[in-house]
Structure 1
Amino acid sequence: MTIAFEHGIELPQPPHQVFALLADYSKVPLWLKRCEGVAKASSGPNKVGDKLRYAYCESGRHGLMDGVITAYDQDRHMAYRYFDKMMAVVVEFHMEPSGEGTRLTHLIDITPHSFMAKLMSPVFKMKLPKQTIQTTENIRDLLAKEAVSL
């Protein structure tokens, strides 16, 4: 059983600015509040197949998830798959031109694997919409702050 939620917003920035923010792993903790950091195992430009490590803190519990870039279409689409012994999480961002700005769609899909994660599924399902909406609003706010500082 997977738990999924998708949310879209309109942003005044063009797709290349939105994509650049999302592709900068050093900035992920600025818009994803439970994230303590994302590190890429290799150097160079991001590409499909690159390995990632995601550090997080959820309800006071620190953890790590391994990940991989599964889609990377410049200024249009990026996707990741993160996994640990408890679950697999697919994270996607779609960017479409919308007037002078961007229509950003953010999708999260969680597949619980462990017995404990399966027991927690109702909690994940309840929290996922609010967390996904808050994440997109954080992205909006960060883009606005970056525009002011230019």
Structure 2
Amino acid sequence: MTFEISLRIHRPPAEVFAYVADFRNMPRWYQAVERVTATTTTATGKGAQFSMVRSLPGGSARNDVEVTAYTPGEEVAFSSTSGPTPFRYHYLIEPIPGGTRLTLNGQISGAGLPGPFANFDKFAEHLFKQGMNKNLNTLKRILHRDAEET
């Protein structure tokens, strides 16, 4: 399944990029992510690797993940290299008047999930996209709240 989600964030692109590109922040805004641990000496940049533990139907699952693209202030992409539900996410950060347009292009498979969860049907696809929208809106709220506190 492929998907694209885009939203406007009233924060500077550099700030949005810095938060999204630091994968250690993911448990704060990505509901299924329980824990992220860097497995290379650098936590950011192309080639950086990390371990991600997610809550999935059937229990917790671990994925090894690698950063596949990293252009400061503009884009960051990563792909799972092991574990269930293989995925690729590409975040594009674009300056717009009054803030940033954040676009997530992604691809994910149900491979490795138990039983009927292994095949994304239209209903499962709808639920997944709804969850990803919720995650990105949580990210947006965090960035707006952090700006108000400074």
Change (3 A) 1:64 1:85: closer
Map 1:1-150 → 2, pairs under 5 A: 3-44=1-42, 46-59=44-57, 61-114=59-112, 116=115, 119-122=118-121, 124-150=124-150
Q: Deviations over 1:101-124 (max 9, x none)?
A: 101001220134458578432154
Q: CA deviation at 1:26?
A: 2.6
Q: Point out where structure 1 has 5 or more consecutive residues left out of the alignment.
A: none
* Identity value in percent: 20
Aligned partner of residue 134 in structure 1, secondary structure: helix
Deviation at 1:100, TM superposition (A): 3.1
Q: State how far apart, in whole Å, the 2-side matches of 1:15 and 1:141 are.
A: 15
Q: Deviations for 1:53-101, whole angstroms, at most 9, x for unmatched residues?
A: 1111124611100110001110100000014354310011100000131
Q: CA RMSD in A?
A: 2.1
Runs (4 or more) in structure 1 with deviation over 6 Å come to none
For structure 2, the residue ranges without an aligned partner over 5 or more in a row are none
Separation in 2, partners of 1:59, 1:117: 10
TM-score (normalised: structure 2)? 0.87
Aligned length: 148
Work out the CA distance in 2 between the residues paired with 1:57 and 1:80. 19
